């Protein structure tokens, strides 16, 4: 095993060059780094929230609100289906989790059941031919419509996944570098934004649902009706942010939603006031064109998160799929709204559970403490291996230095985030690497005491210790992968550094020390091992 084969020398040389090149940007001043040629590595380690400071937010996805909204939509869908087929019905109501309706004509009762079964609900994931809505007759000309239990669970899980992706797009649009956005439990989302010292800035963008809808204003409802609470069942009363009316009565069913937007940007209206320009996709443009063509001289409301931003009159059909949203905007608020619309609406409201700011001073203290602990641990291991094994200990110390360079280089290259627990993983990695060399050297010593020649003792030391080294490192690797897969936050940071360290430790403890010892045997031709 101590033969200086060409591939071993090339592998060791390339690994050292890689480690130096990709670790170097972390110690160079930014001015010097900017002056380097473009083909050289420029990426630095990404420091986690606990090392460089930043903001921490914990949100809970309001899946109950999402379920209530879906029930309300189910009620309106039932009303729409029966009206479109001119089915006589009455007593349409939402009773708990169930939409109930009574069909007025007994002769058409079975047709109504078939109609609702055919047209309501969407295919349920994982079910062949199944839907997320069940329609059942009660025998007294009443029909019950409800979501199946699997639908509510699927909706909740999907809402959390969609919220994570939407939050990620919003934070990326802010320019925040390397945010950590992870699910915590079944319906919570943890956000860590290193370098972002103002959590309120994140809350303003992240926590806003930004659900945009275009709904027709119900102009048959008078001010007296509103005062008396006489709101039609297919309409709702919404607060207004425009200057013309404090409230509007609008149709519950949206004619077009923000899901069909392809773009949104900050713009200005004809009077030079800030506005938001938008563009629909093909489907949205057709719907919007049809609605504006059929409803000339009527108002439609632009609704954001259940508040009417504006309610303009349709003077001419809008068939191009483009338009602007006017309101009481400033240039900044119009830009923020455009960002939210581009990144998509959240499927459900978010309730903030916790928010914290890690100051830059605390982050600097953590970096300093981690650096000191790493330096003390490394020096202690260097002293131990050199005192215990002499020249071979020096070879181990060199391998440890290369090991650190490789870990930092790989993390810089992959833009992995280094956390404070990650530094602990780095220290543990060095200890594991030394442990591998201790096993090899002690085995060499045993073989030398058994009467083998120095070359044979060294060769057998590597061969016989390899099994134990592999067993120990594979165990560490499995533990690290389990922690990385199922852990979060600090646990994941520790595990990631540990997993990288397992591979680099194996390489440096075996190959680098092997090449150095082989070179020493070739040049010194010793009669005795320095550790015998």
Distance spanning both ends of the chain, measured CA to CA: 19
Backbone angles phi and psi of 355, in degrees to 5: -145, 135
Whether 286 contacts 110, CB under 8 Å: no
pLDDT of residue 489: 62
Query: In the sheet that 54-61 helps form, which strands lie side by side, from edge to edge?
Result: 180-184, 188-194, 54-61, 350-358
Alpha carbon distance 74, 67 (integer Å)? 10
The pTM of this model reads: 0.60
CA angle (208, 171, 238) in 5-degree steps:
15
Alpha carbon distance 356, 333 (integer Å)? 25
**Residue 195 predicted with pLDDT over 80:** no
Q: Quick: pLDDT tens for 242-253.
A: 777 889 999 888
Backbone angles phi and psi of 263, in degrees to 5: -160, 155
Backbone angles phi and psi of 59, in degrees to 5: -115, 150
Q: Higher pLDDT residue, 391 or 196? A: 391
pLDDT of residue 132: 80
> Which secondary-structure segment (H or E) carries 441?
helix 420-449
CA angle (38, 39, 43) in 5-degree steps:
75
Alpha carbon distance 196, 335 (integer Å)? 19
Six-digit token pair at 436?
């591998």
**Residue 500 predicted with pLDDT over 60:** yes
User: What are the Cα distances from residue 130, in Å, to 124, 150, 156, 158, 523?
Assistant: 6, 11, 19, 18, 77
pLDDT of residue 248: 92
pLDDT of residue 488: 65
- Report which of 409, 349, 408, 277 is spatially closest to residue 64, judged by C-alpha positions: 349
- Mean pLDDT for 441-458 is 88
Whether 202 contacts 355, CB under 8 Å: no
**Confidence class of residue 127 from pLDDT cuts 50, 70 and 90?**
very low
Cβ neighbours of residue 315 closer than 8 Å, sequence gap 6 or more: 296, 297
Cβ neighbours of residue 240 closer than 8 Å, sequence gap 6 or more: 246, 247, 248, 307, 308, 311
Alpha carbon distance 84, 103 (integer Å)? 14
**Residue 507 predicted with pLDDT over 50:** yes
Q: What average pLDDT does the chain have?
A: 83
Alpha carbon distance 146, 70 (integer Å)? 10
**Residue 51 predicted with pLDDT over 80:** no
**For 469, what's the count of Cα atoms within 13 Å in the CB-facing half-sphere?**
28
Cβ neighbours of residue 24 closer than 8 Å, sequence gap 6 or more: 41
Of 38-52, 216-230, 244-258, 435-449, minimum mean pLDDT range: 38-52
Q: Quick: pLDDT tens for 206-252.
A: 777 777 888 899 988 888 888 888 888 888 999 988 777 889 999 88
Q: Higher pLDDT residue, 93 or 259? A: 93
Six-digit token pair at 396?
């181990």
pLDDT of residue 238: 92
**Confidence class of residue 128 from pLDDT cuts 50, 70 and 90?**
very low
**Residue 338 predicted with pLDDT over 70:** yes
Six-digit token pair at 303?
């609704």
Q: Quick: pLDDT tens for 511-522.
A: 888 889 888 888
Of 70-84, 96-110, 121-135, minimum mean pLDDT range: 121-135
């Amino acid at each position: 095993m101590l033969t200086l084969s060409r591939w071993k020398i090339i592998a060791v040389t390339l690994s050292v060059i890689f480690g130096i090149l990709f670790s170097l940007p972390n110690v160079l001043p930014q001015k010097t780094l900017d002056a380097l040629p473009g083909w050289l590595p420029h990426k630095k380690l990404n420091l986690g929230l606990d090392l460089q400071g930043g903001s921490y937010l914990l949100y809970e996805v309001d899946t109950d609100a999402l379920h209530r909204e879906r029930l309300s939509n189910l009620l309106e869908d039932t009303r729409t289906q029966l009206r479109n087929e001119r089915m006589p019905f009455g007593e349409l109501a939402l009773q708990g989790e169930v939409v109930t309706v009574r069909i007025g004509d007994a002769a058409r009762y079975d047709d109504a059941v078939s109609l609702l079964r055919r047209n309501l609900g969407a295919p349920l994931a994982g079910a062949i031919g199944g839907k997320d809505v069940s329609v059942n007759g009660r025998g007294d000309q009443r029909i019950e419509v409800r979501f199946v239990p699997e639908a509510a669970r699927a909706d909740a899980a999907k809402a959390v996944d969609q919220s994570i992706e939407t939050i990620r797009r919003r934070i990326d649009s802010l320019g925040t570098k390397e945010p950590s956005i992870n699910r915590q439990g079944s319906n919570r989302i943890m956000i860590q934004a290193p370098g972002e010292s103002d959590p309120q800035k994140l809350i303003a963008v992240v926590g806003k649902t930004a659900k945009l809808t275009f709904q027709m204003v119900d102009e048959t409802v008078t001010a007296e009706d509103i005062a008396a609470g006489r709101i039609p069942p297919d309409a709702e009363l919404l607060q207004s942010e425009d200057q013309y009316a404090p409230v509007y009565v609008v149709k519950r069913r949206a004619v077009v939603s923000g899901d069909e937007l392809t773009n949104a940007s900050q713009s200005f209206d004809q009077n030079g006031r800030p506005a938001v320009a938008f563009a629909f996709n093909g489907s949205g443009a057709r719907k919007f064109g049809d609605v504006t063509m059929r409803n000339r001289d009527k108002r439609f409301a632009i609704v954001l998160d259940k508040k009417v931003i504006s309610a303009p009159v349709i003077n001419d059909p809008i068939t191009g799929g483009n338009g602007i949203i006017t309101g009481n905007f400033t240039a900044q608020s119009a830009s923020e709204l455009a960002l939210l619309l581009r990144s998509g609406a959240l499927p459900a409201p978010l309730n903030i559970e916790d928010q914290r700011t890690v100051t830059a001073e605390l982050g600097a203290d953590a970096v300093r403490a981690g650096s000191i602990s790493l330096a003390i641990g490394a020096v202690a291991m260097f002293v131990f291996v050199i005192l215990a094994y002499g020249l071979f200990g020096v070879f181990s110390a060199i391998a440890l230095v290369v090991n650190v360079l490789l870990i930092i280089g790989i993390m810089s290259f992959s833009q992995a985030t280094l956390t404070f627990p990650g530094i602990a993983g780095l220290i543990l990695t060095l200890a594991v690497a030394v442990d591998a060399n201790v096993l090899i050297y002690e085995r060499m010593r045993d073989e030398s005491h058994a009467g083998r020649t120095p070359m044979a003792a060294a060769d057998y030391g590597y061969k016989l210790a390899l099994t134990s080294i592999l067993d120990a490192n594979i165990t560490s690797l499995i533990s690290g992968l389990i922690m990385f897969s199922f852990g979060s936050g600090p646990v994941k940071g520790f595990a990631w550094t540990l997993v990288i360290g397992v591979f680099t430790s194996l390489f440096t403890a075996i190959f680098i020390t092997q090449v150095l010892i082989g070179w020493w045997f070739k040049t010194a031709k010793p009669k005795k091992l320095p550790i015998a």
